[in-house]
Structure 1
Amino acid sequence: MALRETDPARIGGYPVEDRLGSGGMGVVYLARSASGRRLAVKVVHGQYADDPEFRARFRREVAAARQVSGAFTAPVVDADADAASPWMATLHIPGEDLGTHVRREGPLPPDRLLELAAGLTEALRDIHRVGVVHRDLKPANVMLAEDGPRVIDFGVSRAAEALAGDALTQTGRVMGTPPYMSPEQLTSPRDVGPASDIFSLGSVLTYAATGRGPFDSPSPYETATGVVESTPELADVPAELRPFVTQCLAKHPKERPTPDELLALLRGEPLPPTPPRAAVAPVPVRKRRRRTRLVIVATGVLLAGVASGLALWLTGAEPEAGDLPRNWRAWEAKDTRDRGEAGGPFGGCVAAGSGLFCAGDDVKTARFSLATGKFAWSKPIDRTQGAWGDMEGRVIGVSGGRVFTYRNEQVDREDEAVPYYAIQALDVGTGKELWTTATQHGEGAEPPVPDAEHGGAVWTDAGVLTALGANGNDYALLRSDTGKPRWREKLPSVHCRVRGAEGHGYLLCADSARSTRVSRLDLTSGRPDWTVTVPHGGLELLGQASGRLLLVHDEVDESPRRISVLDLAARRVRTLPLKPWSADATPTVTGDTLYFTYENGDVRAVDPRTGRQRWSVNSVVESPGPPLASGSHVYLASVSGRLAALDRRTGEEKWSLPARGRGGMTVASDSGAELTLVGDALYVPYGLRSVYSVDVRNP
């Protein structure tokens, strides 16, 4: 599709090469990264870009999409919710979409159908495990890549839904594509959950097997009615696939199998008995109201034209009233595993699915319910504690039903205890160890954590990137399912560190006191995509903002301290002109802003592109931890649980909550922990292995 005169030449620094399509939400362009990778860059239409609530929700949806594994999807590469026209870039998947292929070549043969069923089921399993619901699975959103099917365009954004009111009745804003929608999407859209995607999977596979959907009709109205009321037409579906499709197309969500059950069915294993029919409540819909609603939906489909081309494409998590996790209530909870008063506070938490995973002093990982705070399990950081080593646990990442953390133990060598570090994958539900991969060991070994002085480990879009070898002289990308390296390379020097930002992996190598080499890694091979030499030594990666890497001197007593800015598109480096800051100031990048926090509660907000100060205030939070920015606020908390919400534009305090006590702690000099925001639910670690949750709209 040819570019138009009004199309941009670059988006976020990425050169635009072609126009791939357009839909109700925006335009999709083909672009290319600095390393030559082809990207699908999706730019939001102006009517959405002008709404601040949309931008806030867009940011959340991008964050959700980043959690999804790239094995069967198109992973998010970059995004900017604060650009004049918000955009998101994913890897471009070469190949045909399923709809185009079937129209051109006809239905798939049985062997390819079974491969498609397995690939799409595994994709949905990965999507659902991180708490995301696709909500628009259809042939146009399934790419037939050379290495198997890929699911693209993570459904309908809640950002658009919030602006649309009753989205099903808005012309051009139909939340899904009726031939592949589930009954609950048409009758009770607020009840849509993971089972909706399973119904859509059955419809997509029917189309792939027969060239038509299970409820196809010349009339969109009759098609939508058939989804809710009619028996699917499956006579032409191959016999070996028909039981699979039949199970998917059950009318009630509770009667549909999970992805794991479907994979078992493909392996020839029987599904567990379903509950008695009387125990499953029917979908509560009155016939007259339902028919009226379906007429409106069908009219919207005709006007919006969503059955062809690219439809609504933004990432979408499962909808909940008020953007809170299902059944959420305000709560306080503590890791109650019996170990006396040993240890200290959590350093931070990571949310995935229905769980909150926290780690800190003496705690490898502890799981709480996002909704209720119910404590499920925790693991100690060390089984045989010695007088050495790092006793602070870290959650490296969560994906595919696994939480990735690290283990430190001691081993006896020549009558001397030495550290032995490893990365572990734990089952998110039970905490059971799934695999363990040794990283560094022996005298001078460093733990596999994001800020290790030598080596390190970070979560990327492709898995765990870590240093390996007794002395950490190699680096590798670990498979999330087995822990075995996908590839392994030698570090260029002993002064190199593994780092990460926005899902990408980097090497920072200190050549001398005067320069640092920054290399962006190709995560498919481990080799650098590019390398830039920054004319300052001893740099540490702060993070990424507005298409730029921010790097700071890691020597806090250096005066003056500098921040170097590396433009990722142009790969140019400059020093950010900043006012001097004291040794007790901590720089943090969150959202599109660089913040400096001070022990006395002062906070400075700085534009990372220009170095200009946006605002400076004194907050009520003593020794605040890293600030967390949402679309409208910046949140700060202390180790005592004191919390403040500042206006993101002006720094004005909007509300605050008092300290919650020290939760059994005898020392309160630490700074606060990292905060976690899931929709409107904010999770605040404090005190002794304690967390509380608050609705930021109604604190």
Structure 2
Amino acid sequence: MSLRDADPAEVGGYRIEGRLGSGGMGVVYLARSASGRRLALKVVHGQYADDDEFRTRFRREVAAARRVSGAFTAPLVDADADAPHPWMATLYIPGENLGAYVRRNGPLPPEKVRALAAGLAEALRDIHRVGVVHRDLKPANVMLADDGPRVIDFGISRAADFAAADVLTQTGRVMGTPPFMSPEQFSSPHEVGPATDVFSLGAVVVYAASGHGPFDGVSPYEAALKVVEGNPDLRGVPAELLPLVALCLDKDPGSRPTADELLAFLRDGTRPVPRAAEEEPAVPERAARRRPGRRRALIAAVSVVLALAVAASVAAALRGTGRPGVPAALPAGWHAWHARAQGAEGAGSVFSRCAVAGTFLVCAGDNLKAVPFSLATGKQAWSRPVDSVTDGSVGNEGSVIGVHRRAVYVYGNEADRKGDHYSVQLMDTATARVLWRTPTGDGDAIAPDPDHGGAAAVPEGVLAVLGSGGTYSYGLLDADRGAVRWRHPMPRGHGACGVGAAGGRSYLLCWSEAGRTRISLLDPATGAARWTATAEGTLFLLGQDRGRLILAEEDMGTTYRTITTLDPDTHRVVRVPLARPQPAQAAVRLSAGALYFTLGNGSVRSVDPRTGRQDWENNSTLENPGPPLASGTRVYVASPNGRLAALDRHTGKVLATRPGRSDGGNVDATAGSAPLVLSGDALYVPYGFRSVYSVDVRHLQP
């Protein structure tokens, strides 16, 4: 970049030759020393020069850079934190940063991704050995030199021997780049340690391999939510690196490998042993016993704030915190609204599912395959029926399978004189255009819905049960084109089978008449089973918690006495006894790391899936509460008529309620309701017949 008239001719005796870049903190110049050595020289913007806190932070950056010297970092050459415009100079690394390279050329080939991972692991080993934590490892801070990557910019690093009471960790700022930050950087920034850099390394490797981050969002706020509570998007990561990346991106810092363990894996394939496995041996199946649980995830019970720049504005980054003085995270132009979908005949049942896609809340059910409401105003954009033949039937429920960019995967049924023709479709939420349509069932081979193992959204597309002529198979529908990338017949001799997804991975579950469940991890490229584990009971997949699959009995008709967990890396099945058995009529749901059992009388019970311990029980004051939704601090439940309750996530105390609505019709109280959707501070509550309302959770009253 060319120099500007206002740029200095020299700084600290170093001749300025050009600009390398600029940002919110300052300008980085290409400089040259008297001996001819080229340097990257950062000069801080004038507005920060009089900020004592900033100068303290800059001195920290200099001190950290002096302590770090390795083959995969940029050594510090000189600095002056007390100059009128503080500056520092590091050895210039010719090349392009990883972010710019991938944007220009696309993802790295697998062999280069592996080399990058090794280089970053070596850099972190050198950084951590001298007691420094980088805290902002991201593609822009990785230079691609000819002889390997270099980690640069220790602008927000912290030496491990700084006191925990450091004033810079108590200013309400959480420094970093949200899509590549670790969960603990949001929840407990003063406790950040080397494991946070390992998490960021995993995110950077995903970006290098795929061109997207594992937690990308349309805003820093959304990215932060995904980091804290979401599953990583691992599309494009080489299969050989998936186990390593998954360990790096574990929500619990204690379960992540060290830099040395990463190098051992990359060098000779030695799989890192999670800290949790060392501290807490798994209980063998059929010999389960109570055991003390590992410390709970750091993300629980905290309010998350983001610092978007050095002196940036603060925004809430955990959903529904309700903190005074923190601006609401609501769609532009949002106001409280309620709406009832219009369109196909029916209107005699409730929505089955809703999801946020782009600027819309898209719902399905009651003969509607999709109807989008504006997130901000509730205005209905369009609607389409499940069944193309309008016959007044309410039997075609419809369901939102998942979201792909700003489109949604839904079910369709093109009925004709020959019968029903089921399909999975990808629909553009803005235009209602069907981007692709792939048949999944025909005639007697009815396509089961997602709630019954018929389909699941995965990073590569839609994992679906496919039927034809009375026989079934399972296959993967490509996300962008809908083409069947691979297809396999259902296993014989194992009873009924269905598909499921958790943690971005694809699973096939088969249930035998003998009361056993076979769970197979499917290779996303081929559909072949990478491994298969067998568990006692007829189990359904609830989701994933801290790396382990969580499964529960299906239609057991008796008291819940155990929960089953399965480690996808070791394939070990553990039957976790519940400290307090739960009634058979209870509905169970996994949300944000906890199991919630709900009863028709309004009782809600929170259970730790790792230990089986019941943390609390309380009456939500609702009749027939629907599926609970947990945020960082609250648990939300709603009744079929839209009555809403917010409970304290850690005690179960009812913090706020909202009356039900009568404009949704007299829906059957036992009909259930679609899961709630929380986007920022806007909570979307499906209720009644095809109805939804939206509320700012910060304004919910007791």
Shorter-chain TM-score: what band? 0.5 to 0.7
The counterpart of 2:310, out of the listed 169, 173, 184, is 169
Structure 2: how far apart are the matches of 1:504 and 1:52? 39
Q: How many residues align?
A: 467
The equivalent of 1:253 in structure 2 is: none
1:553 aligns with 2:559: no
**Relative to structure 1, is the Cα distance of residues 546 and 691 closer, same or farther in structure 2, using a 3 angstrom cutoff?**
same
Local SS of the residue matching 1:25: coil
Tell whether the 8 Å contact from 1:419 to 1:442 is kept in structure 2 after alignment. yes
Q: Which amino acid counterpart does residue 516 of structure 1 have in structure 2?
A: T
Task: Give the drift of 1:612.
Answer: 0.5
**Relative to structure 1, is the Cα distance of residues 61 and 425 closer, same or farther in structure 2, using a 3 angstrom cutoff?**
farther
Q: Deviations over 1:338-364 (max 9, x none)?
A: 64x633221231012211101122111
Local SS of the residue matching 1:577: strand
Tell whether the 8 Å contact from 2:445 to 2:472 is kept in structure 1 after alignment. no
Task: Give the drift of 1:695.
Answer: 0.8
1:495 aligns with 2:500: no
Structure 2: how far apart are the matches of 1:672 and 1:54? 39
Structure 1: how far apart are the matches of 2:519 and 2:171? 35
The counterpart of 2:460, out of the listed 439, 459, 462, is 462
**Relative to structure 1, is the Cα distance of residues 612 and 557 closer, same or farther in structure 2, using a 3 angstrom cutoff?**
same
1:377 aligns with 2:382: yes
Which structure has the higher relative contact order (CA within 8 Å, separation 6+)? 1
**Relative to structure 1, is the Cα distance of residues 398 and 17 closer, same or farther in structure 2, using a 3 angstrom cutoff?**
same
Tell whether the 8 Å contact from 1:467 to 1:474 is kept in structure 2 after alignment. yes
Structure 2: how far apart are the matches of 1:52 and 1:604? 36
**Relative to structure 1, is the Cα distance of residues 559 and 513 closer, same or farther in structure 2, using a 3 angstrom cutoff?**
farther
User: TM-score, normalised on structure 1?
Assistant: 0.58
Task: Give the drift of 1:372.
Answer: 1.1
Structure 1: how far apart are the matches of 2:351 and 2:477? 26
Q: Which amino acid counterpart does residue 434 of structure 2 have in structure 1?
A: E
Task: Give the drift of 1:510.
Answer: 2.2
Structure 1: how far apart are the matches of 2:388 and 2:223? 38
**Relative to structure 1, is the Cα distance of residues 463 and 52 closer, same or farther in structure 2, using a 3 angstrom cutoff?**
farther
Structure 1: how far apart are the matches of 2:172 and 2:631? 11
Tell whether the 8 Å contact from 2:557 to 2:585 is kept in structure 1 after alignment. no
Task: Give the drift of 1:437.
Answer: 0.6
Structure 1: how far apart are the matches of 2:348 and 2:441? 24
Local SS of the residue matching 1:376: coil
Q: Deviations over 1:235-281 (max 9, x none)?
A: xxxxxxxxxxxxxxxxxxxxxxxxxxxxxxxxxxxxxxxxxxxxxxx
Q: Which runs of 5+ in 2 are unaligned?
A: 1-69, 73-117, 128-132, 140-156, 225-235, 240-244, 250-298, 316-325
Task: Give the drift of 1:527.
Answer: 1.7
The equivalent of 1:329 in structure 2 is: 335
The equivalent of 2:408 in structure 1 is: 403
1:481 aligns with 2:480: yes
Structure 2: how far apart are the matches of 1:129 and 1:421? 36
Local SS of the residue matching 1:343: coil
Structure 2: how far apart are the matches of 1:96 and 1:542? 28
Task: Give the drift of 1:334.
Answer: 1.6
Local SS of the residue matching 1:451: helix
Tell whether the 8 Å contact from 1:347 to 1:673 is kept in structure 2 after alignment. yes
RMSD: 4.8
The equivalent of 2:351 in structure 1 is: 346
The equivalent of 1:419 in structure 2 is: 420
The equivalent of 2:593 in structure 1 is: 592
Identical columns (%): 38
Alignment of 1:280-319 (within 5 A): none
The equivalent of 1:664 in structure 2 is: 665
Local SS of the residue matching 1:346: coil
Structure 2: how far apart are the matches of 1:375 and 1:568? 42
**Relative to structure 1, is the Cα distance of residues 666 and 545 closer, same or farther in structure 2, using a 3 angstrom cutoff?**
closer
Structure 2: how far apart are the matches of 1:629 and 1:132? 16
Task: Give the drift of 1:368.
Answer: 0.6
Task: Give the drift of 1:440.
Answer: 1.6
Task: Give the drift of 1:698.
Answer: 1.4
**Relative to structure 1, is the Cα distance of residues 82 and 532 closer, same or farther in structure 2, using a 3 angstrom cutoff?**
farther
**Relative to structure 1, is the Cα distance of residues 596 and 666 closer, same or farther in structure 2, using a 3 angstrom cutoff?**
closer
Structure 2: how far apart are the matches of 1:16 and 1:607? 38
Structure 1: how far apart are the matches of 2:466 and 2:670? 34
Structure 1: how far apart are the matches of 2:612 and 2:355? 30
Task: Give the drift of 1:450.
Answer: 1.9
The equivalent of 1:573 in structure 2 is: 573
Task: Give the drift of 1:387.
Answer: 10
User: TM-score, normalised on structure 2?
Assistant: 0.58
Q: Deviations over 1:182-234 (max 9, x none)?
A: xxxxxxx899xxxxxxxxxxxxxxxxxxxxxxxxxxxxxxxxxxxxxxxxxxx
**Relative to structure 1, is the Cα distance of residues 517 and 695 closer, same or farther in structure 2, using a 3 angstrom cutoff?**
same
Tell whether the 8 Å contact from 1:52 to 1:631 is kept in structure 2 after alignment. no
Tell whether the 8 Å contact from 1:389 to 1:419 is kept in structure 2 after alignment. no
**Relative to structure 1, is the Cα distance of residues 131 and 648 closer, same or farther in structure 2, using a 3 angstrom cutoff?**
closer
| Larger mean Cα displacement after TM superposition, 522-531 or 660-669 | 660-669
**Relative to structure 1, is the Cα distance of residues 378 and 129 closer, same or farther in structure 2, using a 3 angstrom cutoff?**
farther
The counterpart of 2:135, out of the listed 11, 22, 25, is 25
Runs of 4+ in 1 over 6 A off after TM superposition: 44-48, 50-55, 76-87, 89-98, 129-134, 144-147, 159-162, 386-389
The equivalent of 1:681 in structure 2 is: 682
Structure 1: how far apart are the matches of 2:184 and 2:498? 25
The equivalent of 2:284 in structure 1 is: none
Structure 2: how far apart are the matches of 1:80 and 1:588? 28
**Relative to structure 1, is the Cα distance of residues 403 and 609 closer, same or farther in structure 2, using a 3 angstrom cutoff?**
same
